């Protein structure tokens, strides 16, 4: 299977969640076992030799591939959640999104300074949620943080917002309005 094939299966929803946004619905991939296997296996190949001890999945689509990838990497899985979803003591950070403010949280004992952490989400667009997730994980002072998304919308140039010592990788790069790069 190719990245072009995956792109052809990706559902695009215009004007969601607000006018002008071209929402990339990765759940169309999760319904197809060939697509899902391709994504998980490819990400495993990217990270199998990086010493990752924890995968942090960003709510909610980041949970799906993040948990599968953690399993394949023999790493722990940590959910990064919206407020009010975690039952134990937590740490949180507020951030600005393109259409308002939001907050993400983690349990206070999720990550140690001995961990090498991969933060996973489905998509990198403006970078607000992932940058907040990075800052939240960074507060635990792990050995290293890496970031991965299935899709990066390259027209936003959001990788530039992250520190140089934090690799930000994506499996598929597309322009929001064009196609595969």
Beta-carbon-side half-sphere exposure of residue 119 (alpha carbons within 13 Å) = 29
Catalytic one of 38, 61, 105, 152: 61
**What's the CATH number where 148 sits?**
3.40.50.2020
Catalytic one of 4, 94, 98, 135: 98
Domain annotation covers residue 179: no
Domain annotation covers residue 66: yes
Active site residue 11: no
Active site residue 61: yes
Q: Which domain holds residue 154?
A: 50-174
Residues 6 or more apart in contact with residue 49 via CB below 8 angstroms = none
Q: What is the DSSP string of 69-98?
A: HHHHHT-EEEEEB-TT---S-EEEEEEEET
pLDDT in tens, the chain (181 residues): 688 889 999 999 999 888 888 889 999 999 999 999 999 999 999 999 999 999 999 999 999 999 999 999 999 999 999 999 999 999 999 998 767 899 999 999 999 999 999 999 999 998 999 999 999 999 999 999 999 999 999 999 999 999 999 999 999 999 876 554 4
* Domains of the chain: total: 1
């Amino acid at each position: 299977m190719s990245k072009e094939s995956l792109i052809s299966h990706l559902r695009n929803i215009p004007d969601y969640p607000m006018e002008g946004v071209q929402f990339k619905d990765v759940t169309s991939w999760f319904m197809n076992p060939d697509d899902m296997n391709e994504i998980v296996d490819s990400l495993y190949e990217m990270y199998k030799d990086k010493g990752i001890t924890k995968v942090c999945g960003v709510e909610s689509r980041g949970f799906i591939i993040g948990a599968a990838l953690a399993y394949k990497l023999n790493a722990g899985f940590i959910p990064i959640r919206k407020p009010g979803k975690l039952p134990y003591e937590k740490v949180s950070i507020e951030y600005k999104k393109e259409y308002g403010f939001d907050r993400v949280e983690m349990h206070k004992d999720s990550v140690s300074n001995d961990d090498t952490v991969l933060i996973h989400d489905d998509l990198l667009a403006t970078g607000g949620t992932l940058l907040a997730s990075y800052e939240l994980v960074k507060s635990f002072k792990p050995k290293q943080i890496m970031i991965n998304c299935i899709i990066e919308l390259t027209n936003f140039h959001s990788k530039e917002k992250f520190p140089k010592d934090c690799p930000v990788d994506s499996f598929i790069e597309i322009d929001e309005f064009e196609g595969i790069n």
